[in-house]
Amino acid sequence: AFDIGKLRDQTGYVTLDSGYKNTGATKSAITFLDGEEGILRYRGYPIEQLAEKSSFLEVAYLLIYGALPTEKEFKSFQYQITQHTLVHEDIRKILDGFPSSAHPMGILSSLICSLTAFYPKSIAPEISKEELDLNIVRLMAKISTIAAWSYKNSVGHPLIYPRNDLDYCANFLYMMFSFPTEKYEINPIVVSALNKLLILHADHEQNCSTSTVRLVGSANASLYGSVSAGINALWGPLHGGANQEVVEMLEAIEADGGNTSRWITKAKDKDDSFRLMGFGHRVYKNFDPRATIIKKAADEVLQALGLQDSPLLKIAQELEQAALTDQYFIERKLYPNVDFYSGIIYKALGIPTEMFTVMFALGRLPGWIAQWKEMRENKEPIGRPRQIYTGELERDYKEISAR
Ligand code: ACO
């Protein structure tokens, strides 16, 4: 029989907290989150103010370096990022090796990891501040080119090179949607909506992908390698994949004749594993502050693009209304989360569904970088969780003929 006393003698006491629901892994000065009150602040600044007044690159600077940049600092940061958007031509060769069926997230994580080969100084266990700053700028710049190219690869379209006269979001949209044969008109409404979405996703304290980045980095692994691991964590449908599932659910309801009440009943049925995607959150139990901002942005974008009568939006609004007035959802504090609306906006912006998680990664990158940098600066020890062993305690090896 399993002898817990004997095991304790051998291993000491260990706290078990599956899923780390109540275990702090670090001290951090980057993001403050209060799930009961629906508060989210980056470096002390409310998310509402940043989403309304700031730009994604400014927020990236804030998260990574801890303060809003002066005009001079911001210009220099922006200039350097613009100067590094090109990727080594040999990265094209690696990309060519991927079949067109490759998921863009797999390409993204592989090509980000491949940067270690092109910039070997980045893998040194100790790097100078200058080298780290250079790695940060390279990552911020090249991820948008690699992300857009991962999409172009999946549809077999020619790759589009970055344009240095465009800002961060406009340049990304240009590389995603333009063709050598056709002029792409950059819509400022689309640029502004993308800017807002990236800001809202920029950090969310110790979530699964961020914890992955910190854990990998705690072994003194490189920034590129750690971020590549974070991308893989984000790829999981329980983490970054929810916005894609929201749109797929709305499409399924549309194909079902738009019968929202049937799907709500299904979500409440305890014998049915179906859940209303985009509702509920592990931490936010009153409302998701990002969802409030993004709902308003979704209304504006759809109006501006003339999509306010789209059937998917109508279904989304019906679901939202029905759930917000239904006792089941009220009792369990299930509110629409940021992913409920972000999927709708991405769809309206023409971003293909399999790129939704890549968009999330683009937004989350400054948070990953800031958390990795903080962990290194605080000289945190290597992350090494313990376990409660539940296997056989001890047995003697038997020769194969005797088993
Ligand atoms: N639809 C129907 N019922 C739900 C839903 C939902 N979307 N979410 C939770 N519930 C119910 C559960 O069945 C459970 O009911 P019970 O008490 O009768 O057993 C109760 O609400 C509590 O649910 P938990 O799973 O314990 O809540 P938890 O905080 O662990 O989960 C989660 C949060 C994973 C987000 C959950 O609400 C969910 O699965 N939502 C749908 C997926 C989704 O939108 N994910 C994106 C999250 S946001 C983000 O990652 C950026």
User: SS3 of 182, please?
Assistant: strand
Closest residue CA from atom 15 of ligand 1: 332
* Mean pLDDT for all residues in the chain: 93
Contacts of 147 (CB under 8 A, 6+ apart): 104, 108, 172, 355, 358, 359, 361, 362
Give me the catalytic one of 96, 281, 309, 326. 281
Q: What is the ipTM of this complex?
A: 0.95
User: Which token pair is 234?
Assistant: 């984000």
User: Which token pair is 354?
Assistant: 């399999």
Q: How many CB atoms lie within 10 A of CB 366?
A: 27
Q: What angle do CA 247, 105, 355 make, to 5 degrees?
A: 35
70 — pLDDT class (breaks 50, 70, 90) = very high
Counting residues of the chain whose pLDDT is more than 90, the rounded percentage is: 73
- Whether 10 shows a pLDDT value over 70: the answer reads no
- pLDDT of amino acid 7: 62
- pLDDT of amino acid 234: 96
Of 41, 21, 373, nearest to 202 by C-alpha is 41
User: SS3 of 390, please?
Assistant: coil
Active site residue 288: no
CA distance 116 to 113: 6
**Single-letter residue type at 282:** R
Across 212-221, 223-232, 270-279, least confident range: 270-279
Active site residue 239: no
285 — pLDDT class (breaks 50, 70, 90) = confident
Query: pLDDT for 352-389, tens place per residue?
Result: 988 999 999 999 999 999 999 999 999 999 999 999 99
Query: pLDDT for 154-211, tens place per residue?
Result: 999 999 999 999 999 999 999 999 998 888 888 998 899 999 999 999 999 999 999 9
- pLDDT of amino acid 130: 96
Q: Could you tell which of 206, 238, 275, 346 is best to mutate to test the pocket of ligand 1, judged by most ligand atoms within 8 Å of the CB?
A: 275
Q: Which residues make beta-bridge pairs with 45?
A: 42
From residue 301, alpha-carbon distances to 272, 319, 340 in Å are 35, 20, 15
- Whether 1 shows a pLDDT value over 60: the answer reads no
- pLDDT of amino acid 108: 98
Contacts of 51 (CB under 8 A, 6+ apart): 196, 199, 200, 293
- pLDDT of amino acid 327: 94
Average pLDDT rounded to a whole number, residues 279-295: 88
- pLDDT of amino acid 282: 82
Q: Could you tell which of 208, 266, 334, 338 is best to mutate to test the pocket of ligand 1, judged by most ligand atoms within 8 Å of the CB?
A: 334
CA distance 47 to 363: 14
R_g of the chain, CA atoms, integer Å: 23
Sheet with 39-42: strands ordered across: 31-34, 39-42, 45-46
Q: Which has more confidence, 397 or 6?
A: 397
